[in-house]
Each structure stands twice: as C-alpha cells, then as structure tokens.
Amino acid sequence: MNAVDGSDHYERAIEGPVPSLLVIVLDTNPHAWALLSSSLSLSKAVANLLVFINAHLAVNNANQVAVVASHSHRAVWLYPTPPSMSEDFDMNKAAASSLSDANKYRPFALIENSLVTSLRSLISTTTETDIATTSTTQMAGALTLALSYINKATIVFNDMDTSSKPAPTGLENTEPQIGLQSRILVVSVSGDLAHQYIPIMNTTFAAQRLRIPIDILKLAGDTVFLQQASDATKGIYMQLQNARGLLQYLMMAFLPDQTSRKHLVTPTQDVVDFRAACFCHRKVVDVGFVCSICLSIFCSPPEGALCLTCGTHLTMGDYGSKPAVMPRKKKKKRKLNGEGETHSGRGTPTPGD
Amino acid sequence: MMSVSTLASFDYLERLPGTTFRRLYQQPSTSLAIFRRMLPHLAKTFVMALLYMSKPLPLTDLDLWVQPSSKRQKDQALSLLSRLNIVTITAPSREDPQVVSLTKNFKSALQLALTGGGDHQSFGVPSSDVIEDVDLRFLDEYARDQWEGILHYVVNSVGDGMRQDGQGPTLAVKDLLEAGKLVTKGRHSGGGITQAGFSFLLQEVNAQVWTLLLLWIENAEKMSMDHVEVLSFLFMLGSLELGRAYNTTTLTESQQRMLGHLVDFGLVYIPPSTPTQFFPTRLATTLTSDASALRSVSAGFDAALTAATGSKGFIIIETNYRLYAYTSSPLQIAVLSLFTKLSSRYPNMVSGRITRESIRQAISHGITSDQIISYLTTHAHPQLFKTAAAQAGGPVLPPTVVDQIRLWQIENERMKATPGFLFKEFENQKEYEGCAKYADEIGVLVWKSDAKRMFFVTRHEQLRDHIKSRKAK
C-alpha cells in the first residue's frame, strides 16, 4: 500500500529540461578592441561566439538566443534585428545566400547571417567623430535592452505554453522551475564604467529580483561594477588570461544553463570588489559620505550640504573634514571579544547582503 | 532529468553495435539529432565541454568539475554516453590516469554541424522552385489526415468499429502495423488490436511516430535497405525547415524509395505536379524535438493533430472519478472508451466515469496503469494545469484517482518482471559492497540483499569491466 502511495508517483507533472534564453551583450567598443587586436581580433571573437551560440541552440530545440551590441554611443540589437525599413532587402539577401547551403543547419545559418550583417552595418555607420568623442561603451543601455527582451520573451513563452498559466508578475514569486530560463552573458572588453554606475546597479538589482544570472566574460580591462553584477545575481565571472582559448572557456564555463549548473562547480571570483561610485563625480570611492535619507554616496560633502539626489539638508558636525575614525576606546572590548575585529575592520558595506 | 528516456528509439539505438554508430556519426545532422534528442541534460553539457578540447580530459578533473552531490547523475550521464559510443573512457591502469574523450567521428561531425562547412549535404538541399499553394496550414492538415487515418485504423480494429470510412491507410502501412503486431488480422472476424497496439495508441504523437518508424526500420532490413542510411535520412528530416521545398534529386536511390513510405505516414508531402520536390510536414520536422520543446513551441504535434478540436488538453477528471472530455473527435473518444465507462455524449463533450471494471478491462487488454495516467496527464485540460500551478506545482491529476488506478492494476499484478542479471557468490563482504555500490551509482541496480550477498542489475557490461578492473588491482 505504501509503495503505491509514495508521493513521487503523481508529482511528475511537468518534467524534462526547460528551454533557456541566452542574451549575449557584446561589447563592441572600438578602442578596447583595437588594444586587444594583437591577441584576439573582433572577427575571431565573433566567430567563436557564433559557434557558442550554435552550441547553445543545439542543446535544446526550444532554446533561444538574442545578441545586443554595446557600442560606443548606443546599444544596438544584432539579433534578432528590430523590424526596420531596410529589413526586406536584408532578408532577401540573407535568404539567398543561406538557401543554397545544404551543409549547414538552417537555423544556425540564419542567425549567423543576420548577426554578421547587422554587426557590419553597425561598424560601417560608426563615424570617426563617434570614436573620437568617447572611449567607453553603453553597457547600461545594453543590459537594459537585454532585460526588457527577456521580460517580453518570458511573457510570450508563458502565453504559448499553456494559455491558462498565470502571467508572470515580475515579482519574486514567479515560479523558477517552469517557464523560460533566461540568463545574460556579457562579453566585456572595456575598462572603466564608473559614469554608468547607477544604471548598471539598477539593472543588476532588477536581474537579481527576476533571478536572471549575469555572466561576465572579461577579455580585457577590469570593471568593479560588472563584478558586483555577477556576484549579486549568482552569475559566473571570468577574467581570461589568454584570450586565444576563448571558445573553450565559452563551451565549458558559460554554456551550462541553470539546470546543469546545479550539478557543476561554477567558476566564481574569490574576491569581489564592492566599492561604489560617488553620485557627484562618478569616482570609485573606498570611503565616502552617505546621505542619511536616500543613501546617495558622495566623495566629498555636496555643496551647501544639500543632497544632490533628494535635496535634503544634511548637517554634519565636522563639516568638510575626513569621516570620523573609530575612537580608540574600543581597544579594550576587542581584547575581550575577538570577533568584533572583523566587523569593524571591513571598509565598505556590502550591497545586497 | 532524463529527457523522455522511455522513448522506443532510444532503446533501439542503444542496441546497435559500435560499427553502426561510427557510420551513423559520419553525418553531422545525425550527430546533432542524437545529441539533441537522446542525451540527458548533464550529458549534453559534458559533450559540449569536451567538443573543442584538444587533449582528453582526465576523469579526476571531471570529478572536480561536478558537484559531489551530483555524482550519481554524472556517472549515469557518462555511462549513457559510452553506451551510445559518444565518449571513450580509457581502461583504468596503474600507470595512466583514466581519461575521457569524444569519439573521433562524433567529434568531427558535431563540430561540422556547429560551424557549417564540409560537403556532406546532410541538412537537405532546398529546392529553388516555389509552389504557391503549399502552405503550413495545408501541410498540417495533410499530416493530420494521414496520421489520424493510421490511428483510426488501429482503433477501429477493436471489435465494433465506431466508424469505418473507405479512406484508411495504404496497404503497405496496414501490413506494417500487422507485422509490428499492433493489430492482428483473422483471429477474430474483423481483426483485433493487440497489447502493443494499445500502448501505441496511448503514447504521445512524437513517440507514436517513432514507434512506427522503428517498426519500419526493422522491416526495412528485410527490404534490403541499410538501416544506417534509413536512420540518417530520418535524422536529416528532423533538421529540415517546415514549409520549405527540398530537392529529391540529390537523394540516394534508397532514400528516394523511402520517401514513398514516408508519404504514407504523412511525414512528407510530394506535390503531384512536381515529383522532384518534397515538403517535410510537422511530423517530420519535430522528430528530433523533445517533449518540452513540443509543449513550448505552440506549433507542436499536438497543435497539428488537435487543430480540429481547437485546444490541446481536453480532459477534466474529478476526485470522484468523473471524467469530462471536451472533444468531438471520434479517435479520442475511441481511445477514452478503452478505459472509461462513457455515459453520455454531447456535441462537443463526452462524460463518463473511471470505474474499477473499466480499468480492469483495459488492463486485461494489456494497457498498464502508467500508460493510462500518462495519457490523462498529457491530455489534461488547461484548467487542471491551472489548479496545479495555483498550488505551486501540485499534481495535475487528482492523487486519489491516480493512486486508485494503480491499485486496481496491482490487484491483478502482484509480480513485476525485470529482465537482467544476478550477481552472487562474492568472495568477501568488501567486494560485494564495492560492486553493489558501483551498480547503484551507474543506475542499473534493481535489487540487492546484503545478507545473501547478491544483487540484481539490468545491465552487466560496465559492471563486468568494473569487476575485471577490481580483480586487476
């Protein structure tokens, strides 16, 4: 009797691997790629990325992919391309060239074509003044595009799956098991992103809330905030020592989706740089001033002691001086209680926990 | 975890000898299809990690990569991969550590499939001429008509046929169904459905297609067709694009002959005006998709086959064993009547009860409770799914009904037979424990008795190697 009654019998309602959506944010910052060109050119990286995309699609029929370029002045969709006036022309051309090839799986060929075409047009529309005026990349914009795309795809997927399923509310109670599993992979080459601190952190927390891991593959440079993004969303962070082995890194570390990651030891960073950027000058600071009302961070006391964000009048006992240092009194206590040391010794608060 | 491992094609493939695999893996489309369809998720991860690795990976490194708690899944994945001849693991020896690598053919074929290139033409040669009047809708309807024809034939062979139209499947298909013992002729006046036929009816459409195709492959060997070629062709069909015309002229002669049979099944459509072209239907292009993919791609089989009734799930079952089926399809009603006592019929709905008598009758026909339950689950009305989702992933069917169906079956069946191998007479407790533990880890252990020092497994090849290697040490 008990053998029959085992609850494992009737709970296998919906099983099987869940399809996953991978959104790749490709940093196409011309400056950074120029620096990197000796070890890895953009075209080679894109070729490797295409194999990786194909591998992702090969894992499951229902797997989806989307690619955003984070360029110097804007974030652009590379695949799927947004409908535009020139689309008909492009489609015909793409169809014609991939039509004749019987040696390639058609979905792979279509994506490859569309991605290369849009990347080419992106590069050709980049003017010299564009490059000259900035040396950074629109990472925050690209991440936002990725998140909104994931949101849309999830809604569409759930509608299709069973029409009766409750629509995702975007809150934490969305069932993590059923439905589309999404993740973001950022292939980053640019260094400093401090001026985009706030939007990047906003997208990070949005992703954390939606349980979308942000994986970071760093080919060059070092950015504090992307480290924090992957840490907060439980994604993978990898800084490549040797850019030539890109494909193997992609296949081994970044291909497994959330379902397999449960079984694997995923690479993470040992030390996360939790520093924040100040709201006034976008400088990365160790120690700063924090508005007591809205928690905005400043590297130096704002002018007139008015918070730049919420306008609260802040009073500071010791205006203009360095932040207060712990008084020496504690020394006695520390001897009694050794644990107190670790708490006060930590320089910066950790966002997220 | 295992993606529809109950699939018939899966067992069939596992039985193939190694040489067959080596030949199968020459085609990139076949490698891709087997990779996608036959492997559990973790195995796919391993394959992809090994794909572009220049040197074989030491097993100890693989162990480090996998969480210790998932050792069982890892071992099962590896054992399956080596059974399918996808990876080779070197024999353990004292000097060299054990290493794992992809077999050569599979590796190069899958690489080709991902990167494109080569000259294998295994993804089909599209035809440039465009025929206007063949659209998706037409193809779906065509596939549905053909397939339902076959199913009707199987159902109607049950005693009092509910409807007997002149248009049934072709004679070749009828012969095939008979050869596969899905129906029998002559024993009773109108022929009869067999146990295999019942389980065939209750499967999902994808599995049904595969069952029939495998039957056909087994018979194809008699028809002097090479089954490797047949399989590769089927896997190629799975990679084609729906609604696109392909050339028949580039196909080999035996593949062209196969096309004729596939038309009978409704897997491909050949326009009468241009016989050098063929269109794969949805039945063909989803051959290599798995169940969850079908559910999510709204254009799955179910969509193709139940477009007439308008929705996918149609069965509501209540805790008091009452069953309401919102369907007017004679096929579905006939299937339902196999295990339900139907009481009334309305234009768009039938209602009935699941009773002890009706279930016992079904079981005496050879249907198992698992088949009934999985049929009910697959065809459950969205409303049932909604209730299940509201309870945070609770059961779709009422647990009382599911349990009772099982109990009714157990009333008659007190024994369950598992073919396999008994291992006994171990030299000492340690050896027994080591072997039993290993058998459990690779997922073949069925039963063991510590007191008698014996255990029973479903497969023995890997265990044999293991024991040998233990002896060697």
Q: Which domains does chain B have, with CATH numbers?
A: 8-115 (1.10.10), 136-285 (no CATH), 309-412 (no CATH), 421-472 (3.30.70.2610)
The full DSSP string for B340-359 is: SEEEEEETTEEEEE--HHHH
Mean pLDDT of B249-260: 80
Mean pLDDT of B118-142: 73
Phi and psi at residue A117, to the nearest 5°:
-60, -45
Three-point CA angle B236, B51, B16, nearest 5°: 50
In this structure, the answer to whether residues A123 and A226 fall within a common structural domain is yes
Domain housing A296 = 276-332
Phi and psi at residue A60, to the nearest 5°:
-150, 140
For residues A344 and A88, give the distance between their C-alpha atoms in angstroms, rounded to a whole number: 63
The pLDDT score that the predictor gives to residue A84 is 61
DSSP state of A71: -
For residues B299 and B302, give the distance between their C-alpha atoms in angstroms, rounded to a whole number: 8
Mean pLDDT of B358-363: 85
Query: Among partner residues A62, A166, A252, which is closest to B292 by beta-carbon distance?
Result: A62
Q: A58–B35: do the CB atoms touch at under 8 Å?
A: yes
In this structure, the answer to whether residues A30 and A152 fall within a common structural domain is yes
In this structure, the answer to whether residues A102 and A131 fall within a common structural domain is yes
Which whole-number Å values give the CA distances from B298 to A91, B205, B214, B282, B311, in the listed order?
24, 15, 26, 12, 11
Q: What is the CA radius of gyration of chain A?
A: 24
Per-residue tokens: A210 = 């939606």
The pLDDT confidence band at residue B351, using thresholds 50, 70 and 90, is: very high
Query: Among partner residues A15, A62, A108, which is closest to B296 by beta-carbon distance?
Result: A62
- Pick from A126, A119, A129, A137: which is nearest to A70 by CA? A137
Mean pLDDT of A42-55: 90
In this structure, the answer to whether residues A241 and A104 fall within a common structural domain is yes
**Half-sphere exposure of residue A92: CA atoms within 13 angstroms, side-chain side:** 3
Query: Among partner residues B45, B292, B312, which is closest to A260 by beta-carbon distance?
Result: B45
Judge whether residue A24 has pLDDT over 90: yes
Residues of A in contact with B403 (CB under 8 A): 4-5, 9-10
Task: Please tell me the distance in Å from A111's CA to the nearest CA on chain B.
Answer: 12
Judge whether residue A342 has pLDDT over 60: no
Q: Is A116 on the interface with B (CB under 8 A)?
A: no
Q: What is the pLDDT of residues B167-199, one digit of tens each?
A: 567 777 888 888 777 777 654 434 566 767 777
Provide the terminal-to-terminal Cα distance of chain B, rounded to the nearest Å. Answer: 34
Asked which of B76-85, B210-219, B315-324 is least confident by mean pLDDT, the reply is: B210-219
The average confidence (pLDDT) of chain A is: 76
Q: B388–A13: do the CB atoms touch at under 8 Å?
A: yes
Judge whether residue B302 has pLDDT over 90: no
Q: Which residue has the tokens 């139209």?
A: B165
Residues of B in contact with A247 (CB under 8 A): 52
Q: Which residue has the tokens 């194999």?
A: A51
Indicate the helix (H) or strand (E) that contains A289: strand A289-290
In this structure, the answer to whether residues A107 and A196 fall within a common structural domain is yes
Indicate whether A4 belongs to any domain.
no
The better pLDDT of the pair B458, A91 is held by: B458
Q: What chain B residue is nearest to A162 in terms of C-alpha separation?
A: B382
Asked which of A289-298, B352-361, B408-417 is least confident by mean pLDDT, the reply is: B408-417
Judge whether residue A163 has pLDDT over 70: no
Q: What residues contact residue B73 under an 8 Å CB cut-off, 6+ apart? A: A263, B1, B40, B42, B66
Q: In what order do the strands lie in the sheet with A214-218?
A: A75-79, A64-70, A20-27, A181-188, A214-218, A237-239
Mean pLDDT of A279-289: 83
The pLDDT score that the predictor gives to residue B430 is 87
The pLDDT score that the predictor gives to residue A206 is 92
Cis peptide before B275 (omega within 30 of 0): no
Per-residue tokens: B423 = 């291992």
Strand B322-325 versus strand A64-70 pairing type: unpaired
Q: Indicate the residue among A203, A228, A261 that finishes a domain.
A: A261
Indicate whether A97 belongs to any domain.
yes
Indicate whether A325 belongs to any domain.
yes
Task: Please tell me the distance in Å from B450's CA to the nearest CA on chain A.
Answer: 21
Indicate whether A218 belongs to any domain.
yes
Q: What chain A residue is nearest to B68 in terms of C-alpha separation?
A: A263
The average confidence (pLDDT) of chain B is: 78
Q: Is A20 on the interface with B (CB under 8 A)?
A: no
Residue type, B213: L
In this structure, the answer to whether residues A254 and A304 fall within a common structural domain is no
CA A149, A150, A151, A153 dihedral sign is positive
For residues A336 and A99, give the distance between their C-alpha atoms in angstroms, rounded to a whole number: 77
Per-residue tokens: B292 = 């969850």
Judge whether residue B352 has pLDDT over 90: yes
% of residues, chain B, pLDDT over 70 = 84
Q: A16–B4: do the CB atoms touch at under 8 Å?
A: yes
ipTM, interface predicted TM-score of the complex: 0.74
- Residues of chain B numbered 289-318 and touching chain A (CB < 8 Å): 289-293, 295-298, 312-313
Judge whether residue B219 has pLDDT over 70: yes
Q: Is A157 on the interface with B (CB under 8 A)?
A: yes
Indicate the helix (H) or strand (E) that contains A351: none
Judge whether residue B224 has pLDDT over 50: yes
For residues A80 and A71, give the distance between their C-alpha atoms in angstroms, rounded to a whole number: 17
For residues A14 and A23, give the distance between their C-alpha atoms in angstroms, rounded to a whole number: 25
Residue type, B173: V
Q: At how many degrees (to 10) do helices B28-38 and B104-115 cross?
A: 100
Q: Is A102 on the interface with B (CB under 8 A)?
A: yes
Alpha helix positions (H), chain A: 2-5, 30-36, 42-59, 87-99, 106-124, 128-133, 139-161, 197-209, 224-232, 246-249, 258-261, 331-336, 340-345
Q: Residue A217: left (phi > 0), alpha (psi -120 to 50), or beta?
A: beta
Give the CA-trace dihedral at A283, A287, A291, A294, to 10 degrees: 70
Mean pLDDT of A135-154: 89
Q: What is the pLDDT of residues A70-102, one digit of tens each?
A: 888 888 888 887 766 444 444 444 444 544 566
Mean pLDDT of B30-47: 85
Mean pLDDT of B263-276: 83
In this structure, the answer to whether residues A201 and A282 fall within a common structural domain is no
In this structure, the answer to whether residues A220 and A315 fall within a common structural domain is no
Q: Is B412 on the interface with A (CB under 8 A)?
A: no
Indicate whether A78 belongs to any domain.
yes
For residues A346 and A287, give the distance between their C-alpha atoms in angstroms, rounded to a whole number: 11
What is the largest distance, in Å, between two alpha-carbon atoms of chain A?
A: 81
In this structure, the answer to whether residues A169 and A306 fall within a common structural domain is no
Q: What is the pLDDT of residues A316-341, one digit of tens each?
A: 766 556 666 666 655 454 444 444 44
Alpha helix positions (H), B244-297: 253-265, 282-285, 291-296
Residues of A in contact with B42 (CB under 8 A): 260, 263
The pLDDT confidence band at residue A205, using thresholds 50, 70 and 90, is: very high
Mean pLDDT of B270-294: 73
Q: A9–B402: do the CB atoms touch at under 8 Å?
A: yes
Q: Which residue has the tokens 């080419």?
A: A120
For residues B193 and B212, give the distance between their C-alpha atoms in angstroms, rounded to a whole number: 15
Mean pLDDT of A266-280: 79
- Pick from B83, B49, B86, B53: which is nearest to B66 by CA? B49
Task: Please tell me the distance in Å from A70's CA to the nearest CA on chain B.
Answer: 25
Task: Please tell me the distance in Å from A303's CA to the nearest CA on chain B.
Answer: 53
The pLDDT score that the predictor gives to residue B6 is 42
The full DSSP string for B110-156 is: HHHHHH--SS--TT--B-S---TT--HHHHHHHHHHHHHHHHHHHHH
Number of domains within chain A: 2
In this structure, the answer to whether residues A173 and A241 fall within a common structural domain is yes
Q: Residue B89: left (phi > 0), alpha (psi -120 to 50), or beta?
A: beta
In this structure, the answer to whether residues A256 and A280 fall within a common structural domain is no
Task: Please tell me the distance in Å from B284's CA to the nearest CA on chain A.
Answer: 14
Identify whether the C-beta of residue B35 lies closer than 8 Å to the C-beta of residue A58: yes
Indicate whether A200 belongs to any domain.
yes
The better pLDDT of the pair B275, A140 is held by: A140
For residues A74 and B75, give the distance between their C-alpha atoms in angstroms, rounded to a whole number: 47
Residues of A in contact with B64 (CB under 8 A): 265
Q: Is A155 on the interface with B (CB under 8 A)?
A: no
Per-residue tokens: B125 = 């040669």
Q: Is B397 on the interface with A (CB under 8 A)?
A: yes
Q: Is B117 on the interface with A (CB under 8 A)?
A: yes
Three-point CA angle B203, B209, B212, nearest 5°: 100
Mutate to test the interface with A, among B32, B38, B48 (most CBs of A within 10 A): B48
Q: Is A153 on the interface with B (CB under 8 A)?
A: no
Residues of B in contact with A251 (CB under 8 A): 48-49, 51-52
Q: Is A95 on the interface with B (CB under 8 A)?
A: no
Asked which of B395-399, B404-408, B410-414 is least confident by mean pLDDT, the reply is: B410-414
**B316 beta partners:** B324
Q: What is the CA radius of gyration of chain B?
A: 25
The full DSSP string for B157-168 is: TSSS-S---S--
In this structure, the answer to whether residues A147 and A255 fall within a common structural domain is yes
Q: B403–A5: do the CB atoms touch at under 8 Å?
A: yes
% of residues, chain A, pLDDT over 70 = 73
> Buried b / exposed e across A303-334, counting CB within 10 Å, b at 16+?
eeeebebeeeebeeeeeeeeeeeeeeeeeeee
Q: A160–B298: do the CB atoms touch at under 8 Å?
A: yes
DSSP state of A313: B
Query: Among partner residues A100, A161, A166, which is closest to B295 by beta-carbon distance?
Result: A161
CATH of the domain at A182: 3.40.50.410
Query: Among partner residues A9, A16, A259, which is closest to B290 by beta-carbon distance?
Result: A16
Indicate whether A266 belongs to any domain.
no
For residues A28 and A43, give the distance between their C-alpha atoms in angstroms, rounded to a whole number: 11
Q: What chain B residue is nearest to A10 in terms of C-alpha separation?
A: B395
> Buried b / exposed e across B283-301, counting CB within 10 Å, b at 16+?
bbbbbbbbbbbbbbbbbbb
The pLDDT score that the predictor gives to residue A66 is 92
The pLDDT score that the predictor gives to residue B312 is 64
Indicate whether A228 belongs to any domain.
yes
